[in-house]
Amino acid sequence: MMVYNSSFRFSVSRILPSVRTVHTAPLKAANVKITGIKTPSQPKPNEQLVFGKTFTDHMLTVEWTKASGWGIPEIKPYGNLSLDPSACVFHYGFELFEGLKAYRTEDNKITMFRPDKNMERMNKSAARICLPTFDSEELIKLMGKLIQQDKHLVPEGKGYSLYIRPTLIGTTNALGVSTPDRALLYVITSPVGPYYKTGFKAVGLEATDYATRAWPGGCGDKKLGANYAPCILPQLQAAERGYQQNLWLFGPEKNITEVGTMNVFFAFKDSSTGKKELVTAPLDGTILEGVTRDSILALAREKLDPSEWNINERYYSINEVEERASKGELLEAFGSGTAAVVSPIKTIGWTGNDIDVPLLPGEQSGPLTKDIAKWIADIQYGRVSHGNWSRIVADLNTDAI
């Protein structure tokens, strides 16, 4: 087991006293100003919804200044932003975002899935790059009001949802690296279908040790735009060799961290004891604190028989995966994230060879992957209740919530 993580793990709490902004005015959903669009658009047919390409009629914006705190939230027609060319977001990367979804249930309610977890992570990201934090509950309320304006555009059907993108940027108009004294929080929403149109689509990965996604003491556990652009070139290089995504490795041990822009899980079976294990990398400051990841761990611990399964967050390497595959102990593997929810893995390229991941005959996933996808979907679409994971924000049966 690697020891650097205990000494290098980055803790937001250690820097909050020095960077947390004392807000003159807090973010307040009750202060929202709503300007509706004159002619609401009509929902597109589901088959025309390409992920992240269609947007709803309205957006939410809230400005912040160091002098005055949070301004009046505005829900208004979707449109362009106006920013000074010297705005610090363009030059120094003062930008963070979140991604979460709202779902139309079978009784025509609109629910957001675990928004509190996304808001918690968003505030951690903001604190890390010296942008203002906010009351999570107030932004959840504002997102609910935004969704209410466009609730008729939330698509219906398996795999369809409303993708929600809260974004926070620094807007200080000056060249020079310093703490922003102005910021803009905005939220846009996008009706989306399944990430893969054919449903589950098992992907091939290239185990990548020639590029590094994140490192101890860095920002790999924060949802910053700066974490994503540098990963595109390695993905293109992997694609040239026939793989869809990168399986990110780290350190001399070649420990597995994430896949593409997702967390990753592997399932093993000990051939001597018959005990099975679901494993994912631990949250050591280099791994994104995925909401889907957290949901999978919670559901697996609830639903899988502990006499048959161990659910572990631990370090494991591509060498372990290769060895266990050679012994018939690799059962399945999948990525997890908001966009695709669960993405099965079929093969991993490593040192010139492919490690094959078992799939169900004639299908695109293993049995556990299939079960996990169903467990989560049942909660998201309101077929199963699970504590406070689903929050009703709109009702298509009435004009009021």
- 207 with 191, same domain: the answer is no
Q: Show the domain range for 285.
A: 203-364
My answer on whether 159 and 213 are in the same domain is: no
Q: How far is CA 174 from the centre of its chain?
A: 31
Is it the case that residue 121 has pLDDT exceeding 60?
Answer: yes
Asked whether residue 287 is assigned to any structural domain, the reply reads yes
pLDDT for 149-198, tens place per residue? Answer: 999 999 999 999 999 999 999 999 999 999 999 999 999 999 999 887 66
For residues 266 and 336, state if they share a domain.
yes
The pLDDT tens digits of the residues spanning 264-311 come to: 999 999 999 999 999 999 999 999 999 999 999 999 999 999 999 999
Q: Which two tokens stand for residue 323?
A: 């060895």
Cα 319 from Cα 374, distance rounded (Å): 31
CATH number, residue 241: 3.20.10.10
pLDDT score for 401: 55
| Mean confidence (pLDDT) of the chain | 93
Contact 32, 142 (CB under 8 A): yes
Say whether both 209 and 346 belong to one domain. yes
| Whether residues 262 and 140 fall in one domain | no
Residues 169 and 221 in one domain: no
How would DSSP label each residue in 146-166? HHHHTGGGS--STT-EEEEEE
Smallest Cα–Cα separation from 190: which of 160, 159, 230, 220?
160
Task: Decide if 46 contacts 157 (C-beta within 8 A).
Answer: yes
**pLDDT on residue 197:** 65
**Maximum Cα–Cα distance across the chain:** 68
Same domain, 192 and 208: no
Helix (H, G, I), strand (E, B) or coil at 117: helix
* pLDDT above 60 for 21: no
Indicate which CATH number applies to the domain containing 124. 3.30.470.10
| For residues 36-43, average pLDDT | 95
pLDDT of residue 16: 45
pTM: 0.92
Reduce the secondary structure of 21-76 to three states and give it as a string: CCCCCCCCHHHCEECCCCCCCCCCCHHHCCCCCCCCCEEEEEEEECCCEECCCEEE
Q: What total number of domains does the chain contain?
A: 2
The Cα 381–Cα 5 span in angstroms is: 38
Burial class of residue 198 in the structure, from the number of CB atoms within 10 Å of its CB (0-12 exposed, 13-18 middle, 19+ buried): exposed
Do the Cβ atoms of 167 and 95 come closer than 8 Å? Answer: yes
214 in a structural domain: yes
Q: Which two tokens stand for residue 375?
A: 């467990």
Beta strands at 263-269 and 276-280: parallel, antiparallel or unpaired: antiparallel
Q: Is the pLDDT of residue 315 over 50?
A: yes
Q: Which helix (H) or strand (E) holds 210?
A: none
Statement to judge: residues 238 and 165 lie in one domain: no
Half-sphere exposure of 238 (CA within 13 A, CB side): 27
Q: Are residues 135 and 22 located together in one domain of the fold?
A: yes
Phi, psi of 85 (to 5 degrees): -60, -20
The gap between the terminal CA atoms of the chain, to the nearest Å, is 51
pLDDT-derived band at 199, boundaries 50, 70, 90: low
Over residues 359-368, the mean pLDDT reads 94
